[in-house]
């Protein structure tokens, strides 16, 4: 253990973690995400009813100024920290007023790191605040204050707001200049989603001076965007739903075949006015709700021909939509907030959309029939393609493994195989699965470490042989023509033993079924380790850190509420309903795709690490690595 002791340990404080690892906190391709963090805070003021105007000014020297007429940042000295609210917000990570719903019912800035990240990665930053009949200013450079907060002048009592002006530091970005087109698209979307907000964009470089204000909301926006595009329905279908915990607005139409082929589709989703380009559980809910409504309409009207079943893709294909969700405390997958991860939302959105769209279809039967005919046509095309690549049955090759519970569909593109740890978990998975598209094959214990074996030798293992037969592909075979499932999901317990099994399976696929990995067919399912019951609300946590964050949030929202935490000993301990909701249902599960680094050096480094951890001949290297990294291990008790 020479060369590594406590003197080597570092604790990063202040904004140093951001400067050391900027990609953890923002998109380092260009500084647009920094501007978005400030814009989101301004829009949060508008959502709370305190701001009606937002102005973004981009100067020729790449300086950007973002101004709102909200309440203004707090300027008084904080009782606990002894510094002004402005300095606290801009210099401390996880400092903000949005961790509870007292000031903001819905907010996009949730983590208390957004504007402090902007300060950390800015060459210089100036904040102006108007509140309490005064104009205040504070300056920063490289994240450090250049003086105390000072009053500039007195102003009218009703003059309130905040302006943040900064220049991004070129050292942290591939391209330090702002991308104007995406920035304008973002600002227009904010105006669309917040009808009471007037948004202005001024750019010296492009001589733009544009003002957006959309009183018609997302329905008018989508109608205008599709004005010169051929659509299946004559009018956009839209609806608004509001409850104590969320607001949902959606507008949807379908492009005809020619327009869809030209790529004219609009697919925009937002959570608290923040764009979610990677979708998430709210988009999954929209897809499910539309599909269920169309299926129900087909059943009522007896429209489906014999032998035709509508899949979600048959309905979703060609859909063009705008979806806006406002909710308290959304859970995003990462600081950049590109995908919503709140599981409970999916079911609420699906139910709401299904009810609204079912009502519309039954009020517009002729239009509904036209839409259904398009869906049926896509189902027929899919069925014809499936016949050409029909999944091999037991009669056309080796007998399928006895433990494999196959799915109904013959279409490999729609078929999923869950390779499950143990018979007990396999039983729960079989009950939780979608019989039409999901197959389940349980394994017995830890699979053989096949890292150093030849392809032929691996088949001597019964478990690997069964996996090979189920896939329709031999180890080392580069061809995917007979692949029976286009999504292979490794499903193991969330504890250390399960992670070990998942690692051995990942190594098997990387070494002996590499074409599967290269084609993006292999995934690792992420089952929860904990269930958290808070009154009638049920939450799930992937690991200890997620559990601790969830418990802290529940305590913050309702102090003193009884919270019960249950640790799952394994997948077999979960009910079929829990396993379906958390791990197998496409709308709410978490899957991590097994990928190979595109860079050859990075790919080689990954292969070397697997070799170091799994090769018998490298026991000495493995021991040295464990001695150097052993302090990072968390011991389970």
**Catalytic residue numbers, as ranges:** 421, 493, 495, 497
Tell me which residue of 343, 192, 386, 184 sits closest to 270, measured CA to CA.
192
Give the Cα-Cα-Cα angle 177, 181, 185 (nearest 5 degrees): 125
Q: How many helices (H) and strands (E) does the chain have?
A: 20, 22
238 Cβ contact partners less than 8 Å away, ≥ 6 residues apart = 218, 219, 222, 249, 250, 251, 252
Alpha helices in 489-586, H assignment, sequence order: 496-512, 514-518, 544-557, 576-579
What is the spatial distance between Cα 534 and Cα 556, in angstroms, rounded to a whole number?
A: 12
Handedness of CA 9, 14, 18, 24 (dihedral sign): positive
Beta bridge partners of 241: 248
What is the spatial distance between Cα 88 and Cα 116, in angstroms, rounded to a whole number?
A: 9
What is the spatial distance between Cα 567 and Cα 588, in angstroms, rounded to a whole number?
A: 20
Element containing residue 189 per DSSP (H, E): helix 180-193
The span from the first CA to the last CA of the chain, in angstroms, equals: 25
Residue 206: DSSP 8-state: T
Length of the chain: 637
Torsion of CA 539, 545, 549, 554, to 10 degrees: 40
Beta bridge partners of 84: 77
503-514 burial, b at 16+ Cβ within 10 Å, e below that, comes to bbbbbbbbbbbe
417-442 burial, b at 16+ Cβ within 10 Å, e below that, comes to bbbbbbeebbbbbbebbeeebbbbbb
Residue 400: DSSP 8-state: P
Mode of pairing for the β-strands spanning 246-254 and 438-443: unpaired
Q: Hey, what long-range contacts does 341-344 have (CB within 8 A, 24 or more apart)?
A: 341/280, 341/281, 341/590, 342/280, 342/281, 342/282, 343/281, 343/540, 343/581, 343/582, 343/588
- Check residue 564 and give left, alpha or beta (phi > 0: left; psi -120 to 50: alpha): beta
What is the spatial distance between Cα 396 and Cα 394, in angstroms, rounded to a whole number?
A: 6
Beta bridge partners of 523: 489, 593
- Per DSSP, the residues of 95-156 read --S-SSTTT-SS-S--SS-HHHHHHHTEEEEEEEEEETTEEEEEEEETTEESS--EEEEE--
Residue 15 and residue 80 in contact, taking contact as beta carbons nearer than 8 Å? no
Residue keyed to tokens 């946590």? 541
205 Cβ contact partners less than 8 Å away, ≥ 6 residues apart = 58, 60, 180
């Amino acid at each position: 253990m020479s060369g590594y002791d406590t003197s080597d340990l570092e604790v990063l404080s202040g904004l140093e973690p951001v400067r050391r690892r900027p990609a953890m906190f923002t998109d380092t391709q260009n500084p647009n995400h920094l501007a978005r963090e400030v814009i989101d805070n301004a829009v949060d003021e508008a959502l709370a009813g305190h701001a009606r105007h937002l102005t973004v000014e981009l100067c020729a020297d790449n300086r950007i100024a973002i101004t709102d007429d909200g309440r203004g940042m707090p300027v008084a000295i904080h009782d606990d920290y002894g510094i002004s609210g402005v300095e606290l917000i801009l210099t401390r990570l996880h400092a903000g007023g949005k961790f509870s719903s007292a000031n903001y019912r819905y907010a996009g800035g949730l983590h208390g790191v957004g504007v402090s990240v902007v300060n950390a990665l800015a060459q210089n930053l100036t904040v102006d605040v108007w509140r309490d009949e005064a104009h205040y200013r504070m300056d920063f450079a490289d994240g450090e204050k250049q003086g105390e907060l000072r009053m500039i002048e007195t102003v009218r009592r009703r003059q309130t707001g905040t302006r943040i002006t900064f220049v991004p530091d070129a050292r942290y970005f591939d391209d330090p200049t702002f991308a104007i087109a995406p920035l304008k698209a973002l600002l227009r979307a904010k105006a669309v989603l917040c009808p009471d907000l007037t948004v202005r964009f001024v750019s010296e470089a492009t001589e733009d001076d544009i003002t957006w204000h959309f009183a018609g909301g997302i329905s008018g926006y989508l109608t205008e965007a599709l004005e010169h595009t051929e659509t299946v329905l004559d009018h956009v279908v839209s609806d608004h739903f509001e409850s104590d915990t969320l607001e949902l607005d959606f507008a949807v139409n379908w492009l005809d075949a020619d327009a869809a082929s030209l790529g004219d589709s609009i697919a925009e989703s937002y959570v608290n006015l923040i764009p979610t380009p990677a979708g998430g559980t709210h988009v999954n809910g929209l897809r499910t709700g539309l599909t269920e409504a169309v299926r129900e309409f087909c059943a009522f009207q007896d429209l489906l021909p014999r032998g035709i079943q509508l899949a979600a893709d048959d309905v979703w294909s060609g859909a063009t939509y705008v979806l806006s969700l406002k909710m308290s405390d959304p859970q995003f997958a990462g600081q950049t907030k590109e995908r919503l991860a709140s599981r409970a939302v999916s079911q609420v959105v699906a139910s709401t959309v299904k009810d609204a769209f079912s009502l519309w279809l039954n009020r517009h039967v002729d239009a509904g029939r036209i839409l259904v005919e398009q869906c049926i046509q896509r189902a027929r095309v899919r069925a014809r393609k499936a016949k050409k690549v029909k999944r091999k049955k037991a009669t056309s090759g080796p007998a399928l493994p006895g433990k494999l519970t196959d799915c109904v569909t013959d279409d490999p593109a729609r078929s999923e195989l869950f390779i499950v740890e143990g018979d007990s978990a396999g039983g729960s998975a079989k009950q939780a699965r979608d019989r039409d598209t999901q197959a389940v094959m349980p394994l017995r214990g830890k699979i053989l470490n096949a890292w150093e074996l030849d392809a032929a030798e691996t088949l001597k293992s019964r478990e690997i042989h069964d996996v090979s037969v189920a896939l329709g592909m031999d180890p080392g075979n580069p061809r995917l023509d007979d692949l029976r499932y286009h999504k292979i999901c490794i499903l193991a317990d969330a504890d250390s033993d399960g992670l070990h099994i998942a690692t051995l399976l990942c190594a098997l696929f990387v070494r002996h079924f590499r074409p599967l990995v290269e084609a993006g067919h292999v995934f690792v399912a992420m089952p929860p380790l904990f269930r958290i019951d808070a009154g009638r609300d049920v939450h799930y946590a992937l690991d200890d850190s997620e559990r601790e964050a969830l418990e802290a949030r529940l305590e913050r929202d309702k102090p003193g509420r009884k919270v019960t935490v249950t640790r799952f000993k394994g997948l077999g301990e979960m009910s079929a309903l829990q396993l379906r909701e958390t791990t197998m249902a496409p709308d709410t599960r978490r899957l991590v795709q097994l990928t190979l680094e595109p860079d050859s050096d990075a790919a080689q480094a990954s292969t070397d690490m697997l070799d170091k951890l799994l090769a018998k001949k490298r026991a000495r290297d493995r021991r040295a690595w464990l001695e150097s990294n052993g302090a990072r291990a968390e011991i389970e008790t």
